[in-house]
Amino acid sequence: MTEIEKSYNPLGIEEKWYAFWTEKGYFSPDGIEGRPFSIVIPPPNITGSLHMGHALNSAMQDILIRWKRMLGFKALWVPGTDHAGIATQNVVERQLAHEGLDRHKLGREEFIERVWQWRSEYGGRISHQLRKIGSSCDWSRERFTLDEGLSRAVREVFVRLYNEGLIYRDNRLINWCPRCRTALSDLEVEHEELDGTLTYIRYPLADRNGRIIVATTRPETMLGDTAVAVNPDDERYKDMIGSMIDLPLANRKLPVVGDRTVDPAFGTGAVKVTPSHDFSDEAIAKRQDPQLPFLKVIGEGGRMTDNAGRRYAGLDRYDCRKKVVADLKEAGLIEKEEKYRHSIGHCYRCKTIIEPLSTPQWYVDIKPLAKEAIDAVRDKRIRIVPDSWENTYFSWMENIRDWCISRQIWWGHRIPVWYCQEMRNAECRRQNGIIVSKDTPASCPHCGAEAVALRQDEDVLDTWFSSALWPFSTLGWPDGTDDLRTFYPTNVLVTGFDILFFWVARMIMMGLKFMGDVPFRDVYIHALVRDSRGQKMSKSKGNVLDPLIMVEKYGADAFRFSLAAFAAQGRDIRFSEDRVEGYRFFVNKLWNASRFIMMNLGADDREKLSCQLSDISRDRLSLADRWILSRLASTASETNKALSEYRFNDAANAIYQFIWHEFCDWYIEMSKQSIYSDSDEKWNTLACLLYVLDNSLRLLHPFMPFVTEELWQTIKSYIQANEESIAISGYPETLPFDEKAEDEMHYIMEAIIGIRNIRGEMNISPATEVKAVIKAFDRRIEDILLKNLNYIIRLAKAGDVQVGLNLEKPKGSATSVKDMLEVYLPLHGVLDTEAEIERLLKEKKKIDESLLQAGKKLLNEDFLKRAPKDIIDKERAKYDDLILRNERLETGINKLREMEVKND
């Protein structure tokens, strides 16, 4: 007998097996012969710690990679992190602030040094947390976006795009975060609807009496107005085009101009134009001929500049707003103020309201790259799963705008551009002194000026620029490495829809551009994890569930399995801890099933079993054996199919259903008959139990790696496993079905359920042995029942079972009407006739309802004419069956009624 704990305790077991796997190097594809299968992880940011999203994301990747590894693929999962420019810089700057320092006091080099220090201390946290949930990444290939190799890839890409004219520098309005003091791309701006005020301001005309009223949500920007625009077709205003206005508070004159984008129906139909601080105003200004002047009144820190006038200069933009409104009120120039709800852009990192600012920045001319990326999805060279996301992808890609890639921060890949201060010749001047180079130039390639005359661009690149190269830079590009040849394109990218544009689209563009092939075949987009009420988890709301606490409370296996079971749900996953608890019970169930089997095995039994196992499919197996093997085959088939279609929940549920409700509830109970006997059959049964357990564990291993390994190791010596770990054992795929066994089992189960029905409803204690009489409706059923009486006796706790074709229902029996058979339980006067009649009537009522529906259909000529034949046949069979059952129920009820009368 083998001793196993009564319940599963993951403590210690998880660490033990993770260490074992990594020591053995199972997570590395090196030395494996199979076809390659690769995934690159969506690199988490080094400032973060593992949250539910990461957990879900990596659980799914791990399920896929473990599954493929077991199927014999040369499976590689590349882990890594990204440097998260703004976020990381923010963290370290906060640290400095505590010390009364800032990065400018420290200087660039020393600051960068500090950030690396921080990174080595805290940046690896998330990688360690991934190990806790069992992620089978190849840690020997772990990458960081600022690694030397990946940095080289970044410079290579920048230089090549620049040389092809796809990267350029321009001075135009960009989204500026006044707190981070950097430019942001359009995607890094989050729009949120907020309650604001629409202020109507009177602008007096300069050259005649009258005024134009403009409406604005940002009164402070009036200080930077350089025109008022109206629609040239607007009868109210068109005569005023060309007139001048006296701009209040600023002592300047502005022209009234015409622009067709002005909506006459909105506000007053007249718009103040602030080209330096509003995107649409910038566009209006540029459409005018000559262009309207640009007057910058807000600076990089969000404070008013000297251009705003002495009264306002230096004020914060929001304080200035108050002052401007107060001043205008005093001057009697406010017409009215209305409440107005509108959407405002915020910095995605620090939530500060964005200020559009005109600054020189680097851009990627994205349209040519986007075109290829659109085609790749259209041609199905890349499959997006679920494909409903394709539309979102297309609509963004088709309306894509140039990508601002420069950031005014220090932590990141410094832009590989130098400016020649001397510009000694015409060529250098023609190039604006710009030098773009992979390596630091020793002198100006245009004019030969010496290195001291060259000043490198201060800015760094958007972090997503390096992330976009991730699928090939992690594999060694720009070098032509073996890894790159073997594993690119990767097979699937698993990610949330929130970074479809940020990351997925950009990887596709860069992969196609620089590798000449897609970066991955499939993109599997999963839902985002929310709390049980559907709220986004966030620290400020305090509704964050820590995955590591889940692992601590329920074990990594139960937690992972929950994530898989949740995975199919649309855009949101409402995470509920109750379900994790439920799956912990499942782990325990599995544990105890294994415990049961092991308790019935002795060390001497190994040899007996091993020869039994080798020919487990022989026909000396019992019906139950053949049935469970067929169910196992069906489960394996469903699991593989579901996984190949990324239906993680279906796969998880198939296994759950099989192990708990078929293997444990039915098969193990049936096996006891044989196991507790002393017959030869015992060894067949034990072999079959072991075989099914072994296969169940292997099916489950990608979902629950730890407990399956622990259990598998305990049965290993009995099952003649060649491998030393379940992680590298084979995954069950195609096993033989046995339809005959499944069919026969159906009637046995019906008989057992029939008896249990009556017991349950009559509140007969499970301890009480009952007599049962089963009437079969044809000889075949009778035969099946007679051959397998032992199962019925055991599972229904029936002491005496009679089976026959022409049995009479004993007096005072409760009845259960089943498919092709009826079960009678003689209750010797204890039967509550009244209650039994009620029970049967209830059942009859259900059948009557179905019968009504089915009858209607079969009387409908259109149905008979137009419905497919198999449906009609099915419907007829159903009808016949219902009629039969109904008659049988009726007979039963009538007999009971007669009896009732007699008893009276």
Question: 516: which 2 tokens?
Answer: 């000449």
Among 120, 251, 763, 903, binds RNA (CB under 7 A): 763
Which residues 257-276 are close enough to bind RNA by CB under 7 A? 261-267, 269, 271-272
Question: 880: which 2 tokens?
Answer: 């016949």
Among 205, 753, 789, 899, binds RNA (CB under 7 A): 753
Residues 6+ apart with CB under 8 A from 547: 50, 51, 52, 54, 55, 129, 133, 559
Write the burial class of residue 714 (CB in 10 Å: 0-12 exposed, 13-18 middle, 19+ buried). middle
Cα–Cα distances in Å, from 23 out to 139, 173, 701, 729? 11, 54, 19, 17
The helix/strand/coil state of 776 is strand
| 540 binds RNA, rule: CB under 7 A | no
CB of 731 to RNA, least distance (A): 23
Strand (E) or helix (H) holding 620: none
**Per-residue x/- mask for RNA, residues 421 to 460, rule CB under 7 A?**
----------------------------------------
CB 285 within 8 A of CB 227: yes
CB of 516 to RNA, least distance (A): 29
Among 491, 630, 757, 815, binds RNA (CB under 7 A): 757
Q: By C-beta, is 21 or 501 nearer to RNA?
A: 501
Which residues 462-501 are close enough to bind RNA by CB under 7 A? 498, 501
Question: 228: which 2 tokens?
Answer: 């008022």
**Residue type at position 860:** N
φ, ψ for residue 771 (rounded to 5)? -95, 145
Q: By C-beta, is 166 or 762 nearer to RNA?
A: 762
CB of 229 to RNA, least distance (A): 8
Among 734, 765, 806, 903, binds RNA (CB under 7 A): 765
Residue with tokens 């949250």: 51
The helix/strand/coil state of 714 is helix
| 168 binds RNA, rule: CB under 7 A | no
Which residues 190-219 are close enough to bind RNA by CB under 7 A? 190-191, 193, 214-218
Q: By C-beta, is 191 or 485 nearer to RNA?
A: 191
CA distance 279 to 285: 10
| 660 binds RNA, rule: CB under 7 A | yes
Stretch that binds RNA, among 150-158, 160-168, 723-731, 862-870 (CB under 7 A): 862-870
Task: Please give the radius of gyration of the chain, using alpha carbons only, rounded to the nearest integer.
Answer: 37
| 886 binds RNA, rule: CB under 7 A | no
| 634 binds RNA, rule: CB under 7 A | no
CB of 634 to RNA, least distance (A): 17
**Per-residue x/- mask for RNA, residues 798 to 837, rule CB under 7 A?**
----------------------------------------
Sign of CA dihedral 596, 612, 639, 666: negative
**Per-residue x/- mask for RNA, residues 218 to 247, rule CB under 7 A?**
x-----------------------------
CB of 354 to RNA, least distance (A): 11
Stretch that binds RNA, among 369-377, 412-420, 662-670, 678-686 (CB under 7 A): 662-670
Residues 6+ apart with CB under 8 A from 859: none
| 759 binds RNA, rule: CB under 7 A | yes
CB of 843 to RNA, least distance (A): 8
Stretch that binds RNA, among 327-335, 479-487, 532-540, 617-625 (CB under 7 A): 532-540
| 1 binds RNA, rule: CB under 7 A | no
Which residues 864-883 are close enough to bind RNA by CB under 7 A? 865-868, 871, 874-875, 878, 881-882
Which residues 354-393 are close enough to bind RNA by CB under 7 A? 388, 391-392
CA distance 883 to 44: 63
**Residue type at position 820:** M
| 116 binds RNA, rule: CB under 7 A | no
Which residues 830-849 are close enough to bind RNA by CB under 7 A? 842
Among 571, 641, 845, 897, binds RNA (CB under 7 A): 571
| 351 binds RNA, rule: CB under 7 A | no
Residues 6+ apart with CB under 8 A from 217: 196, 197, 198, 199, 340, 342
Question: 355: which 2 tokens?
Answer: 């200020």
Among 186, 316, 327, 372, binds RNA (CB under 7 A): 186
Nearest CA to 753 out of 666, 831, 676, 827 is that of 666
CA distance 795 to 816: 16
Count CA within 13 A, CB hemisphere, residue 497: 20
| 650 binds RNA, rule: CB under 7 A | yes
| 277 binds RNA, rule: CB under 7 A | no
Among 45, 49, 576, 725, binds RNA (CB under 7 A): 576
Which residues 578-607 are close enough to bind RNA by CB under 7 A? 578-579, 582, 584-585, 587-589, 592-593, 595-596, 599
CB of 309 to RNA, least distance (A): 20
Cα–Cα distances in Å, from 680 out to 11, 335, 608, 621, 795? 40, 100, 10, 11, 22
CB of 767 to RNA, least distance (A): 6
CB of 449 to RNA, least distance (A): 41
How crowded is residue 105: how many other Cβ atoms within 10 Å of its Cβ?
11
Residue with tokens 């007669």: 898
The count of chain residues that interact with RNA, using the rule CB under 7 A, is 101
CA distance 543 to 546: 10
Per DSSP (E only), the strands in 782-877 are 798-804, 813-818, 821-826
**Residue type at position 324:** V
Residues 6+ apart with CB under 8 A from 409: 85, 86, 89, 180, 181, 182, 459, 460
**Residue type at position 624:** A
| 538 binds RNA, rule: CB under 7 A | no
Q: By C-beta, is 220 or 483 nearer to RNA?
A: 220
Among 34, 314, 766, 799, binds RNA (CB under 7 A): 766
Residues 6+ apart with CB under 8 A from 13: 706, 707, 710
Nearest CA to 184 out of 510, 511, 459 is that of 459
CB of 467 to RNA, least distance (A): 16
Among 573, 652, 820, 893, binds RNA (CB under 7 A): 573
Question: 208: which 2 tokens?
Answer: 């005649």
CB of 333 to RNA, least distance (A): 15
| 769 binds RNA, rule: CB under 7 A | no
**Per-residue x/- mask for RNA, residues 664 to 703, rule CB under 7 A?**
xx--xx--x---x---------------------------
The alpha carbon of residue 790 and the mean position of all alpha carbons in its chain are separated, in whole angstroms, by 48
| 863 binds RNA, rule: CB under 7 A | yes
Question: 703: which 2 tokens?
Answer: 């979902």
